[in-house]
Amino acid sequence: MRQFYRWLFYLAGLFILALGLTLNTKTGLGVTPIISVPYSIAQVFGFNFGDATLVAYCLFVAIQFLLKGKPVRWADLLQLPLSLVFTRVLNLLDGAVPAAPQGMPARLCLLAAAILCTGVGAAMSVDMKLVPNPGDGIVAAIAQRTGRELGFTKNWFDTANVGITLVFGLVMGHPLCGIGLGTVLAMLGVGRVMALFNRLCLPAMGRLAFVPAARGEGTAE
């Protein structure tokens, strides 16, 4: 039953994360920070969004290997096929989820749901200590290397991605490509949602799934 709960929480977390990323793009208020770089590249050069995200995820995996500085685990290598599956799910959800209705109140409500889903999904999938989504795996690797709290590291990493996207957009003559109010609010909110979720839910989830992270790793500062 422990393994059942562990995989249940993990798969549910990945799906919720993919849904959150998709909902953010559908608001028309900008994409989430962690996919803002591949999104802007896809828009400028006409690439498929899922394919551009796959390349970014492969880069994230390579950086994780450098940060950890130890023999590669099977779970680390499995991030590569996971990236392929996850980005295909993003493409499917992108076609299945309609855009937000006109009007700022409706868009802001959808954005709130997107931030909540992204934070909860990211926390659930990382907490289960299985195969992390590369975007979350690199955040966990940075947090482990620096000794900082997971939510704080997520905020920092999101800020860095937004900065790269802004510089790329300015250089390519497409300022604010993919960057909007939704990006800024996601940059501020997703990490806090992760920290709050871990504080409230991680102990109970850890007991059910018998996950080492139940000792309190990743709780809010």
* pLDDT score of 72 more than 50: yes
Q: 2 vs 45, which has greater pLDDT? A: 45
- Cα–Cα distance measured from residue 80 to residue 108, given in angstroms and rounded to the nearest whole number: 34
Quote the mean pLDDT of the chain.
84
What backbone phi and psi angles, to 5 degrees, belong to 28? 75, 15
Residue 136 has pLDDT above 80, yes or no: no
Cα atoms found within 13 Å of the Cα of residue 63, Cβ hemisphere only? 16
Q: By percentage, how much of the chain surpasses pLDDT 90?
A: 24
CA distances from 117 to 36, 94, 110 (A): 17, 15, 10
- Report the C-alpha gap between 112 and 124 in whole angstroms: 18
* pLDDT at position 220 over 50: no
Round to whole Å and give the CA distance between 54 and 152.
25
Residue 219: predicted pLDDT: 33
Residue with tokens 């995996």: 61
- Give me 86's structure tokens: 């996850």
pLDDT of residue 217: 44
Query: Which is more confidently placed, 176 or 12?
Result: 12
**Spatial CA neighbour of 14 closest among 22, 3, 25, 4:** 22
Average pLDDT over residues 198-216: 73
pTM for this predicted structure: 0.80
Predicted local confidence at residue 221, as pLDDT: 30
Whether the pLDDT of residue 121 is over 70: the answer is yes
Map residue 32 onto helix, strand or coil: coil
